[in-house]
Chains A and B, each alone.
Chain A
Amino acid sequence: MSGMELFQIWIMAFFTLAIFSFLYKDNPIYRFAEHLYAGVSVGYYIGLYWDTVIVQQLWVPLTQSKVPEYWLAVPGIMGVLMFSRLSSKYSWMARIGLAFIMGNTAGVFLLSQLHGNVIGQMQGTMSPQMANGSPNAALTAIVVLGVIATLIYFYFSKEHTGALGVTAKVGIWFIMISFGAHFGYTVMGRISLLIGRVYFLYTDWIGSFSQIF
């Protein structure tokens, strides 16, 4: 292990322990680590977007390619106009770029969401559910009932009484089971992250002691 690798491991271990120190109580070492992380992140993002967007996708094709792509000046100008928000007099100019982004995003996502979520999920709900490679009537009935009951729970134009109320209550059960699954998975995810950090401290950091001491 090189000196630089050792240095990196110790830096990583220091910041891991600094963040964990918050579990005892808020303290200056935790705050130092937190602020440094936020600062480094912002600095990294600025440098990254400068290079990958401004330089690679605007400046180079505009000025250094064999056939200059002059049309890129239009989005470039719209990007600059975004900064007009800083002036109360000219802030309206930022709307040009924003309108373009909104229109473009709506157009792209309308199609993709329709294809990916609306039609695909409707097909999936209507098709027979499979279990061990063959259609399963009970599973299909549960899915259809769950979807209808959950949708009815979110139907607020009529008071939830009678049959509508019973169905909405069934819907709540399905929603709660879904929340439970999400919560269980979230606990597992957080424990996984803790295992990852402790594993690093145990194998890499404590493992590096033998090279130093």
Chain B
Amino acid sequence: MNIWQRMSSIDRHYVYLLVAATVIFPLIVPAHFPIGISPEARQLYEAVDSLPEGSVVLLTFDMYANNLAETEPIARAALYHLFRKNLKVVTVTTIPFGGPSIAERITRELAAKYHKTYGVDYVNLGYKPNYVSVLKGMGSSIESIYPTDNSSTPLAQLPLMQTVKNYADMKFIYVVADNGIVDYWISIVQAQYGIRVGCGVTSVMAPKLYAYVGSGQMTGLLGGMKGAAEYELLVGKEGLAVTGMGIQSLVHLLIIALIFIGNLGFFMEKRRAARAKS
């Protein structure tokens, strides 16, 4: 086997090892790459930042546990921004597998850090099945869908929920999601109730959703770890996403190099074979 053949047929185990090394090494010696702020991330940041103090924002935790690496940094940066702006936060989830516990863990942790009181500054409504009914029902009465919060406390006992009866009492919906539910927040809630919706989603979902930003149906978009890193920079609270983007950039450089090596080997071998034949 000559060098060109070797280059175009590197054993996949070596590729895995190289990727693993590229991910692990920057954790020991951090790598920093510049992170540009996209107009969509800035739009979302400015939409939240321009809300008057005390406004109610619905923050959704529509996420499974397996995508936490992308969604948790977005949710944390969003919640940090909302609490810092002294906005009232109501959280819900349409995902049973992870959503309620993730919402509970992150909101309780950040609320304690920023001295927010449960029931007054924020409420976690938790999960209810059948997202279409939930999204539509909250437009007329939140209490009819969520008679109690995530800890089974009746909404009547939560001061914040005395002023929040449906979407009309909210100023913004901040969707953090890793699945197709975003389409329904747009098509059911934004389109039919006119409330502004901004989203932070996984990378896989982001390209499709740019169409909603372009049409003005979505107010800002964060795509995956890059979007989370942009938002962390905008709110001035660097976390896992900013750290992760250094690693991400290195791995991308490695992938580009491997694609180049593989293609170079393939074409050079093809050329060599053609010459040998002639």
Contacts and interface: CB of A to CB of B under 8 A. Distances in A.
B72 to A, nearest CB: 8
Interface residues of B, number: 52
Contacts of A112: 184, 187-188, 191-192
A197 B69 contact: yes
Nearest to B217: A120
Contact of B23 (A187, A189, A198): A198
B226 interface: yes
Nearest to A113: B187
Given A113-B187, A124-B211, A185 B224 contact: yes
Contacts of B23: 191, 194-195, 198
- Give the size category of A's interface with B: 35 or more
B191 A188 contact: no
Contact of B186 (A44, A48, A116): A116
Interface in A174-202: 178, 181-182, 185-189, 191-199, 202
B251 to A, nearest CB: 5
6 contacts: A109-B132, A113-B187, A116-B187, A116-B191, A192-B203, A195-B247
A123 B215 contact: yes
A181 B205 CA distance: 11
A188 B24 contact: no
Contacts of B190: 116
A191 B16 contact: no
Interface of B: 13, 16, 19-20, 23-24, 27, 39, 66-70, 96-97, 127-129, 132, 136, 183-184, 186-188, 190-192, 202-204, 206-208, 211-212, 214-217, 223-226, 240, 243-244, 247-248, 251-252, 255
Nearest to B192: A115
Contacts of B70: 189, 192-193, 196
Nearest to A125: B215
Given A120-B212, A188-B225, 18 more contacts: A44-B96, A120-B186, A120-B191, A121-B211, A127-B216, A129-B214, A182-B208, A185-B206, A188-B226, A192-B224, A192-B248, A193-B67, A195-B23, A195-B248, A196-B68, A196-B70, A198-B23, A198-B24
A53 interface: yes
B13 A116 contact: no
B254 to A, nearest CB: 10
A49 B129 contact: yes
3 closest cross-chain pairs (CB), A and B: A196-B69, A124-B215, A116-B187
A52 interface: yes
Contacts of B226: 188
Contacts of A129: 214
A154 interface: no
B66 A187 contact: no
A40 to B, nearest CB: 10
Interface string A101-125: 0000100110111011100110111
Contacts of B186: 116, 120
B215 A53 contact: no
A113 B188 CA distance: 8
A111 B215 CA distance: 18
A41 interface: yes
Contacts of A49: 129
Nearest to B241: A192
A141 to B, nearest CB: 14
Interface in A5-61: 23-24, 41, 44-45, 48-49, 52-53, 57
